[in-house]
Amino acid sequence: MEAEEFDPELMECMNITSMMQNSPYEIKKQPNGQPDRSVLRGPTENKEAIVRITAFPGVVAHRQGGGQLAKRLLDEEEREERKSGIHLPPDVKQSRDISRGPPLNGTEGFRTRVICKSVVHLQWGKQRLLTKEAGTSRHLDAMRDGKMAKYEDDRWGFVELFDRFLDVHKDFDRGSY
């Protein structure tokens, strides 16, 4: 599994004290008193909080449709458009309506709610290149043209945990997995 960057909305960090003590960021105060973590101290190679271990996977509930909140937001958006008083020429309005697609009524899409955050152990590091580019046109072009060297070089020195497991347990039957 590829390393992923820490997302505080979906994850809770087990080793937050250690991460703060070893942070590559120098925390300075902005004139308004807010902390500014944009200044890096030392090398910038390991500047991302990367999930090393997932101790407990989070639970996210999904429900189809936008519900009452979606309807309320759509109503507010419509009121704001009317209140703004901007009168668009008919051709511009028609073009905008076509590009938007059919009118939304609040039953489209999915709602999500985080029931329980993932519990993770982090380390300072760098996300591998393949993770950031997988599925992009650049990555697909490289696969088509057989120019995957930069992606293979990016993995040099890394061993996936499951591959290590298979090396140790050569008799493991993948079919039963």
> Is residue 46 domain-shared with residue 3, that is, in the same domain?
yes
pLDDT at 21: 86
String of DSSP letters for 102-133:
SPP-S-SSEEEEEEE-EEEEEEEE---HHHHH
Same domain flag for 122 and 49:
yes
pLDDT the model gives residue 12 = 95
pLDDT of residue 121: 94
Residues of the chain with pLDDT under 50: 1
Pair 99, 152 in one domain: no
pLDDT in the model for residue 30: 66
Count: domains in the chain: 3
Q: What are phi and psi of 156, to 5 degrees?
A: -60, 130
Domain that holds residue 148: 128-170
Give residue 35's pLDDT: 60
Q: Are residues 39 and 84 in the same domain?
A: no
Domain co-membership, 9 together with 53: yes
